[in-house]
Amino acid sequence: MPPIKIAPSLLSCDFANIAREVERVEAAGADLLHVDVMDGHFVPNLTIGPPVVAWIKKYATRPLDCHLMMTDPAQYIDAFADAGADIITIHVEATSPVKPTLERIRKRGLRCGVVLNPGTPIEAAEPFLAEIDMLLVMSVWPGFGGQSFIPGVLDKIKRARELAPQLDIEIDGGINDATARDAVDAGANVLVAGSYVFKARDLADPIKKLRAVR
């Protein structure tokens, strides 16, 4: 299995001090910075757009892992690439055709991935496994931080790991040291965590605990 990577979700950070938060979470050991983009349509919440990603990029030294919870992500690939995204993941449930959108991400020189909602079976990602750098399995219904982990997705991760032994498999939603252990046992290696990381006084504590689950 590929190495464990910790991807704190900036959704739970203090946005009034974004530069300081980026520096703080990188110093604490983040491998990637997870950026939750919500369009108020695919999910009932609005968050971060390309201008804010560009501000984050000014301060980040780690790759920006942009999770596009958007109905039509294809329209925005260039905007996020220009803003400094390093990895872009798109939902298979979105309306943009998946394959051409992945190709567009690659053409911009970025890494690409697909995302599965908790109710979407692994079969929906199978046609793309050979051409993606990362598979993101949602362990909550997307839209908000701070929700509880849905254990029913663990079987999907196991199946994904069988199908793609070398692929980065990312898990997102309700991750803490206990749920991370279950996810890693099932085959996940990229751990997104928002509230669990940012509610700590010393961000290095939760990040160390997540890294230690394997």
Query: Residue 173 binds what, of Zn ion, ligand DX5, none (CB under 5 to 8 Å, by partner type)?
Result: ligand DX5
> Rounded CA gap, 86 and 108, in Å?
10
The interface mask with Zn ion, positions 66-85, x = CB under 5 A, is -x------------------
**Is residue 36 part of the contact set for Zn ion (CB under 5 A)?**
yes
Query: Residue 147 binds what, of ligand DX5, Zn ion, none (CB under 5 to 8 Å, by partner type)?
Result: ligand DX5
Size of the site for ligand DX5 (CB under 6 A): 22
Query: Residue 73 binds what, of ligand DX5, Zn ion, none (CB under 5 to 8 Å, by partner type)?
Result: none
In the complex with ligand DX5, which residue's Cβ is closer, 122 or 180?
Answer: 180
Any catalytic annotation for residue 36? yes
Q: Which of residues 15-74 bind ligand DX5 (CB under 6 A)?
A: 34, 36, 67
**Is residue 93 part of the contact set for Zn ion (CB under 5 A)?**
no
In the complex with ligand DX5, which residue's Cβ is closer, 71 or 195?
Answer: 195
Which listed residue (31, 86, 168, 172) is catalytic?
A: 172
Q: Are residues 195 and 146 in contact, defined by beta-carbon separation less than 8 angstroms? A: yes
> Rounded CA gap, 72 and 95, in Å?
6
Minimum distance, C-beta of residue 37 to Zn ion, in the bound complex (Å): 9
C-alpha neighbours within 13 Å on the C-beta side of residue 41: 9
Binding site for Zn ion (CB under 5 A): 36, 67, 172
Q: Write out the catalytic residue numbers.
A: 36, 172
